[in-house]
Structure 1
Amino acid sequence: MVQDAAQASLQELLEDGSFDAVRAMLIPMQPADVAEMIDELPDTFQAVAFRLLPKDEAIEVYEYLPSRVQQNLLMEFRHPEVLEIVDRMSPDDRARLFDELPAKVVRRLLVDMSPAERNATALLLGYPDESAGRIMTSEFVTLRGSLTAAQALDRIRRLARSSETIYTLYVTDNSRHLLGTLSLRDLVIAQPEQLIEEIMTEEVVFVKTDTDQEEAALLIQHYDFLALPVVDRELRLVGIVTVDDLMDVIEAEVTEDIYTAGGVQSVGDDYFETNLLTVARKRVVWLLVLLVTNTATSAVIKGQEDLLQQVVILTAFIPLLIGAGGNVGAQSSTVVIRGLNTEDVQPSDMAYIVGRETLAGLILGLLLGSAVTLWAFFLEGNLGVALSVGLSLIAISLIATFAGAALPFLFKALKFDPALMSAPFITTAVDVLGVLIYLNIARLILGI
């Protein structure tokens, strides 16, 4: 509520032209909060509010803005202003912005940037998409093992303002090979004359430039690091990825998995601001696949037409059975996919996990089957139909949990994203088998 009031007040001040009051409101705020407020403003006021910020704060705020707003602001500024903002951004944030800009704009900006920043950005852009090299920064502090603690602290004081983080320090040799790491805490409490090589940690966890960014995020999470060193093929230190960058990676990966699980292909940073034709084109692919697959269910029903004509009431329970089967299968696939993505579950655990989920499906089937048998008998008074529905639900639950647990492992082994085994796909597969099982059990019990 307070944030909403401040947002409304900011827009009113901008509309009234009270720019001094806008400065007084924004300058004391945290850069992330200022970026959020600018993002919420109408497009016509975003550039105005941003221009009112002091130059140093504006650079920091700019890095927190969504890429859409960053691009809009670039188009509003005169070229020298754009160049100064871009030149002073951290290399990883700059590379992320350049990924979103038209190639012509990127080329123009690269030509006019300082040589050091141009080289740093070109280096990051040369690494594969979604790799640790693409999101790393070259702004970090390195030390030599021969330095004393006092000399190292002097070096940190000189480099602190231009470094992404100083809480983790990296020890290298003359060829930039990574020898060890050192926390700022350990350095501060060390004796001034102690050598860095005596207090550093030699067992270093690192990633290579072509390591997938999601793997880097999992390592950060597992070891509770603030930053992770990135080395090239010769194990030379070329950058670090920080926890704030990897939080963005985790958010993007989770969003992608959620979209995939729902049968929606990712369409960029903001789904709700994407062109509707693009949205429809992305979503229709899965829907067409499911539509074609579901024709198999129609074929099964048509093949059992004589049974359904004699016992029409069987038709009424088809939605109940296939709906329950799809839900049970989706539950199993969800927990297995989550376990695989977080590495709580390993491919070697397949037999145990699939067996466990299938046993859970049997228990669920017995509980649900008993309940639906009583309900069907209460509704129709036909024991044969009631038993057909109940026994079918037990069999469908078994098949659904087996499929929901096993198929993600199969996709993982085939090097596909386990999230591709999404709820819509499993539901469709269970629909076909469920109807086939139900109608054949009914034919057997009813003797038709």
Structure 2
Amino acid sequence: MTQAANPTSSSELRDIVRDQLQLLLEQKNYEGAKMLLVPVPPVDIAEAIQGLSRPMQMLAFRLLSKSEAIAVYEYLDSDVQQSLLEEFRDQEAIDIVESMAPDDRANLFDEMPANLVRRVLAQLDPSERQATALLLGYKPDTAGRVMTPEFISVRADMTVSQAQERIRELARDKEVAYYVYVTDPVKRLLGTVSLRDLILASPDQRVEDVMERDVIFARADVDQEEVARLIQRYDLLALPIVDQEGILLGVVTVDDVIDILEEEATEDIYAIGGVRAEGESYFDSGFWSILKRRVPWLLVLVVTNIATVFIMSQYEEVLDSVVELAFFTPLLIDTGGNIGAQSSTVLIRGLSTDELRNKKPARVILRELFAGAALGIVLAVLVLGIAMVFVGKVEIGLTVGLSLIAIAALAATVGTLLPYLFHKMGFDPAFMASPFITTVADILGILIYLNIAKLLLNIG
């Protein structure tokens, strides 16, 4: 019996292409490299090129035909795009950049040195330069910056036949051809019409008679996260973007939203870990850039943790009287920090996904408080038994157990309350995550533990 061949996964295929491309380039077998890349999709060629050394990247890119190079370029990371652009001759650079969608071009210019942006921008076709300048005029991370002006619009007073003719003229040159937007003579958004309805409608009907008037849209100055939420909530392929007067400026497409969600999730994860995000990939950053990202939070934590040292120094008498109390200090600190981090993580995620939109903050905080207390009771029962075995003193076990309950309840409350407060103040709640909440929980936990010990053990 003939055994079926094992299918190759896409990641394995990319690795094979990259390794073979590297080998062929090293052997200067350029024709072989060209043939290798012929059946490979542009996105996989881009990933293979990114896996090469910088000199090899330019060499591999120059093997592509003009149409292939244009398709591959948009899939490259911004640092590789910039590196290649700096090596291109002027006309090569203009051909590549002009072929990009305006929103992708604006993203590239965001990462490039200002002098290179000015040089390239000055040589663009006037219409492309105007489209790019429009996007660059909006603040980063807003709908205006990520929208594309490449959409199809028709006037409401057109006949269906006229609208169909306009679509045939424009569809090849527009990025978004699956929605047709209906505007008035001054480009104010009035509605949308599907291609299906245009095909089925009578040629003499007016567009306003077949269009959908209830349109989901966003202002150009809203945060890109809000755009992503709207597209996700209403299952849209594209979202129209308008100015304050309702003039249609552009659209944000679902593929842009995927990039937005990945970018925002990366920022939140970095923030939760106490690592500042600066746009570029962390793993492609230089050594000093990595230090610059990680040091600030650590310095803040060192300063705030001095409070823990100060508190313990004020309770030196308690620790000297009952040395066994020191044995359980790491357990209590870690418990408070972990429970606080758990609560903050679920709350930050809930705020990010709008799960908490219709929930009262007080109820959420109380729920986490009770959950923290319940976790503390479970841990207290376990620790009481451990304390009896290793220390042999009931009062020590009770002190640690009660402290665990109080610390767990307080840490869960703090882990919920602080992100809420940050969110209400207009800041990203992710910055009030693990490092800071852990530190606050540590300080309050030590204070609670030593005061309960002082009270139950009659010290001082």
Q: Same fold (TM over 0.5)?
A: yes
| 2:282 pairs with 1:267 | no
- What residue is the counterpart of 2:101 in the other structure? 90
- What residue is the counterpart of 1:31 in the other structure? 42
The one-character-per-residue Cα deviations of 1:240-298 (angstroms, maximum 9, x if unpaired) are: 11111121111111111111111111132211222222221232111111111111111
Match of 1:392 among 397, 403, 409: 403
How high is the TM-score relative to the length of structure 1?
Answer: 0.97
- What residue is the counterpart of 1:65 in the other structure? 76
SS in 2 for 1:127: coil
| 2:421 pairs with 1:440 | no
Q: Which amino acid aligns with 1:314?
A: L
Is the 1:209–1:230 Cα contact (8 Å) retained in structure 2?
A: yes
Deviation of the 1:347 alpha carbon:
7.9
- What residue is the counterpart of 1:248 in the other structure? 259
Alpha-carbon distance in structure 2 between the residues aligned to 1:188 and 1:369: 70
Is the 1:146–1:195 Cα contact (8 Å) retained in structure 2?
A: yes
Alpha-carbon distance in structure 2 between the residues aligned to 1:269 and 1:251: 13
Deviation of the 1:118 alpha carbon:
0.8
Deviation of the 1:239 alpha carbon:
0.7
Is the 2:231–2:237 Cα contact (8 Å) retained in structure 1?
A: yes
Q: Which amino acid aligns with 2:340?
A: G
- What residue is the counterpart of 1:330 in the other structure? 341
- What residue is the counterpart of 2:5 in the other structure? none
Alpha-carbon distance in structure 2 between the residues aligned to 1:46 and 1:184: 42
Alpha-carbon distance in structure 1 between the residues aligned to 2:196 and 2:18: 40
The one-character-per-residue Cα deviations of 1:79-119 (angstroms, maximum 9, x if unpaired) are: 11111111221111111111111111111111111111111
- What residue is the counterpart of 1:231 in the other structure? 242
- What residue is the counterpart of 1:155 in the other structure? 166
The one-character-per-residue Cα deviations of 1:356-382 (angstroms, maximum 9, x if unpaired) are: 111111111111111111111111111
Residue segments in structure 1 that go unaligned for 5+ positions in a row? none
- What residue is the counterpart of 1:365 in the other structure? 376
Deviation of the 1:20 alpha carbon:
2.5
Q: Which amino acid aligns with 1:322?
A: I
| 2:118 pairs with 1:107 | yes
Is the alpha carbon distance of 1:153 and 1:189 closer, same or farther for their aligned partners in structure 2, counting shifts above 3 Å? same
Q: Which amino acid aligns with 1:428?
A: T
Alpha-carbon distance in structure 2 between the residues aligned to 1:47 and 1:193: 55
Cα RMSD over matched residues?
1.5
Is the alpha carbon distance of 1:185 and 1:379 closer, same or farther for their aligned partners in structure 2, counting shifts above 3 Å? farther
Tell me whether 143-152 or 246-255 shows the greater mean CA deviation. Answer: 143-152
- What residue is the counterpart of 1:378 in the other structure? 389
Alpha-carbon distance in structure 2 between the residues aligned to 1:52 and 1:153: 40
Is the 2:350–2:356 Cα contact (8 Å) retained in structure 1?
A: yes
> Identity over aligned residues, as a percent?
52
Alpha-carbon distance in structure 2 between the residues aligned to 1:374 and 1:190: 78
Matches within 5 A, 1:175-214: 175-214=186-225
Alpha-carbon distance in structure 2 between the residues aligned to 1:253 and 1:210: 17
Alpha-carbon distance in structure 1 between the residues aligned to 2:196 and 2:323: 76
| 2:310 pairs with 1:305 | no
Q: Which amino acid aligns with 1:358?
A: L
Is the alpha carbon distance of 1:13 and 1:194 closer, same or farther for their aligned partners in structure 2, counting shifts above 3 Å? farther
Deviation of the 1:157 alpha carbon:
2.2
Alpha-carbon distance in structure 1 between the residues aligned to 2:47 and 2:328: 51
The one-character-per-residue Cα deviations of 1:160-189 (angstroms, maximum 9, x if unpaired) are: 221112111101111101010122333334
Deviation of the 1:124 alpha carbon:
0.9
SS in 1 for 2:239: strand
Is the 1:364–1:397 Cα contact (8 Å) retained in structure 2?
A: yes
Deviation of the 1:326 alpha carbon:
0.6
Q: Which amino acid aligns with 1:363?
A: A
Residue segments in structure 2 that go unaligned for 5+ positions in a row? 1-11
For these two proteins, the number of residue pairs brought into alignment is: 448
Deviation of the 1:191 alpha carbon:
4.2
Matches within 5 A, 1:3-18: 3-18=14-29
- What residue is the counterpart of 2:268 in the other structure? 257
- What residue is the counterpart of 1:340 in the other structure? 351
Match of 1:411 among 398, 404, 422: 422
- What residue is the counterpart of 1:219 in the other structure? 230
- What residue is the counterpart of 1:427 in the other structure? 438
How high is the TM-score relative to the length of structure 2?
Answer: 0.94
Is the alpha carbon distance of 1:347 and 1:260 closer, same or farther for their aligned partners in structure 2, counting shifts above 3 Å? farther
Match of 1:296 among 283, 307, 310: 307
Alpha-carbon distance in structure 1 between the residues aligned to 2:110 and 2:273: 27
Q: Which amino acid aligns with 2:316?
A: E
Is the alpha carbon distance of 1:153 and 1:52 closer, same or farther for their aligned partners in structure 2, counting shifts above 3 Å? farther
Alpha-carbon distance in structure 2 between the residues aligned to 1:7 and 1:112: 34
Q: Which amino acid aligns with 2:248?
A: L
| 2:128 pairs with 1:117 | yes
